[in-house]
Amino acid sequence: MQKQKCVFLDRDGVLNRERGDYTYTLEDFEVLPGVPEALALLKANGYLLIVVTNQAGVAKGRYERADVLACHSKLQEVCGALIDAMYYAPSHPDFSESLSRKPDSLMLERAMAKYTIDPAQSWLVGDSQRDLQAAARVGVRAVLVGGQHPPQTHIWQAPGLWEAAQLILNNRA
């Protein structure tokens, strides 16, 4: 069976605006400019698109799984249903341990097994060190996005997803 290439995507701060607090209402869930276009570009170049997101607010009782799913539905709607799968880790170490929660890599491992993903051709786009750590655990390259990181924080860095998509396409294995 042929292995597929994939771009794993963190959610908050990569696909939607990071508010500094939990984003779980549809009113607060704002897809960032350029995200639909970046996803379309990656999809046109043969990448699976899989969201992997920590959602600790569920374990903390701040919001429900239904709120996460509603935000994911809105994301798909705004982005033309381009995302192939969405995984989320509802745990938090203060409430429930989980190997799914980044920086652990179980969300990525599950997707890699289900979709026969080739780590050598795949990437993760994230906005935190824990995203980069999860990518490293499964052997995929990672792009760090967001203006909060000083230049040269990470080998692959971009202001946002559109620029990250360009970087990925220019550095294919």
The catalytic residue positions are 10, 12
Contact 136, 142 (CB under 8 A): yes
HEC readout, 50-88:
EEEEECCCCCCCCCCHHHHHHHHHHHHHHCCCCCCEEEE
